[in-house]
Chain A
Amino acid sequence: MSIQEYFRPQSIEEATRLLADQAQGSLILAGGTLAMPLINDGISMPEMVLGLKDSGLNYIKDQDKYLVIGATATLSQMASQTKISMLSEAALAVGGWAIRNMATVGGNFFAPPPGGDFTAALLALDAEITFVSSQGERTIAVKDFFTGFLTNSMAPGEIIKEVRVPFPEGKTAFTKYGRRHANTPSIVAIAANLGYQSEKVSKARIALNAVGPYPLRAVMTEDYLLGKSLTEQVIQEAGEIAAGECSPFTDAIASEWYRRKMVPVILGRTLEQIGD
C-alpha cells in the first residue's frame, strides 16, 4: 500500500479535526528528518500523512516568564534566537545546516536514541509541553513526556502544539560529546541548570542524553549537588552517581561501557563551565 494522501492543514484547528476524523490514524510529519528516511527505505509505509509545516506553529515568542516555542519552529530558528543561550547551543549540536533548517523542536521528542540532544536541554530547563486535540489542550512537564523506549504519554488524536520554557535562573551549560566535532550522534550529551544561594547549589537540573532509552533527568545526582559547592571532589562524586543512575546502550557509535565511562568526564566538563 502506498501513500494515499498527504494532508497539509493550514491551521492547528484543521490539523486536529483531520486527525480526529481518521480512525486508523495518520503519520504526523513536520520537518521530515525522522519520518522521511524511513519512508524512503520502505520501513514506514503510512497511508495517510499529516504535514504540520503550514499549520502556524513555527513561532518563538516571549510570554511573561516563558519563552513559548511552537512545535514546528526549526532548530535553525532555535540556533539564531538569543533569549535562552543553552537552547541555541543545543540546537547547534543537532545535525548539519540543512538538517537544522528542516528539523523541528516538536520532532526532536521523537528522535530515537542517541538523538534527542535538544530535548535534553528542554528537560534541564524545566520546560512544559502542550498537546492539542479536537478535545482541547493539556500541558505536562517535559520530564513526564517519555514513558519508555520510543513511547510517550501522548493520547491518540493529540499533536504537540508548543513548548513553554521558563527563562532560566542561575547558570546553564550544555556539552555534547561525539566522535566528530559536529554533525555527529551523541556518545553522551549533558544539559545542566544550577541555581545558587550564598555559593551553595540551591537548585540543580541535570539532563543526560544518549545514555538511556530517552533523554533523562539525573535526579540522584541533582539531589547530591543540593547544598554543596562545586569543588573538584563534589564534581567527581556527582559524576560517579550520574554514571550509576543512567542506563547506556551499545550501538555503532559507542559501547555501553564507554558511554558510562564518559558520563563523569562530560558531566565534569559541564559543571566546570558552570563553576567558572
Chain B
Amino acid sequence: MSVRIVNFTLNGRNIDVMVKPLTTLQKLLREHLNYTATKTGCKQGSCGSCTVLVNGEPMVSCLLPVEDIVGKNVLTLEGLSDNGDLHPIQESFFELFAVQCGYCTPGMIMVSKALLDHNPDPNRDEILDALTGNYCRCTGYEPIIRAVEESARRLNLAGEGV
C-alpha cells in the first residue's frame, strides 16, 4: 500500500498529513485531526451532515478522498468562529432555535455560508434549493430557513458598516 503525504489548507492553516489510499476527508478530519464538528451521518452522500466547503463550494466530505483536495482550501465549522466569537450565521441559528439535537447543524451552517457568499440576499426558494441536500429530523426546517434569512440580514448590515 502506498501512503501519501497530502498538503492542503484547513481553516486557513497549512496542513501536511499522511493518508492511506482513498481515505475520506471526513475520516481524516474526525479521526486524525480531531476536527469533530464535521459529522458522520450516512456515509452515502445522502444526509449532508458532513458538508464542508472546498474552495468555497459545498461538498460532502464522506465521499471525498483526501488525495483529491491537494492544494485546496477546506473550511469546516471550526473555521467560522473568530477567537470564540460566534459567526453571524452561528448566532442566528442559536438565537432562532434552528438547533435541536444539533447533528445536522454543522452541515446546515456550512451550506448556508456558501449560499450567502454566492448570494447575499437569497429568497426562500433559493434557501430551500441550497439546503435540500441536508436532512434535519428535528426542527421541521422552518426555524433553519428563518435563521438563514436572519443571517443574511445580519451579514448585510455588517457589510454596510452599521
Chain A positions near chain B (C-beta within 8 angstroms): 2-6, 8, 29, 31-33, 36-37, 39-41, 49, 51, 53, 76, 95-99, 101-102, 181-183
Q: State which residues 32-79 of B face A: CB under 8 Å.
A: 43-45, 48, 51, 57-60, 62-65, 67-68
A36 touches B62 (CB 8 A): yes
Q: Is B133 an interface position by the 8 A CB rule? A: yes
Report the bound CA distance from A66 to B20 in whole Å: 41
Q: How far is the CA of A97 from the CA of B21 in the complex (A)?
A: 26
Which residues on A sit within 8 Å (CB–CB) of B114?
Answer: 97
Contact call B58/A4, Cβ cutoff below 8 A: no
Chain B residue at smallest Cβ distance from A53: B68
Asked whether any CB of chain A lies closer than 8 Å to the CB of B2, the reply is yes
A33 with B58: CB separation less than 8 A: no
In the bound complex, CA of A49 to CA of B133 (Å):
27
Say which residue of A8, A31, A36, A96 sits within 8 Å of B133 (CB atoms).
A96
Given the complex of chains A and B, what is the CA–CA distance between A32 and B45 in angstroms? 10
Question: Is B22's beta carbon under 8 Å from chain A?
Answer: yes
By secondary structure, the B interface counts as mixed
Q: Is B151 an interface residue (CB 8 A)?
A: no
Q: Is the CB of A39 within 8 A of B132?
A: no
15 additional A-B pairs beyond A6-B67, A98-B48, A181-B128, beta carbons within 8 Å, are: A2-B1, A3-B20, A5-B21, A6-B21, A6-B22, A31-B63, A37-B43, A37-B63, A39-B22, A41-B43, A49-B22, A51-B65, A97-B111, A98-B58, A183-B132
Residue of chain A at shortest CB distance from B52: A98
B: number of interface residues (CB 8 Å):
29
Contact of B65 among A6, A37, A181, A183 (CB under 8 A): A6
Q: Is B29 an interface residue (CB 8 A)?
A: no
Q: Does B24 contact A (CB under 8 A)?
A: yes
Known: A5-B2, A36-B24, A99-B133. A51 touches B68 (CB 8 A): yes
**Residue on A with the closest CB to B68?**
A53
Q: Which chain B residues lie closer than 8 Å to A49 at the CB level?
A: 21-22
Tell whether, in the assembled complex, residue B58 and residue A101 are in contact, meaning their CB atoms are under 8 Å apart. Answer: yes
Q: What distance in Å separates the Cβ of A53 from its nearest Cβ neighbour in chain B?
A: 6
Closest Cβ of chain A to B43, distance in Å, is: 4
- Docked-complex contact A97 and B67, CB < 8 angstroms: no
Q: Which of B20, B22, B45 contacts A99 (CB 8 A)?
A: B45
CA–CA, A37 to B46, complex, Å? 9
* Closest 6 A/B residue pairs (Cβ): A96-B133, A6-B21, A36-B63, A40-B43, A183-B132, A37-B44
Q: Does B85 contact A (CB under 8 A)?
A: no
Q: Closest residue to A41 on the B side, CB-wise? A: B43
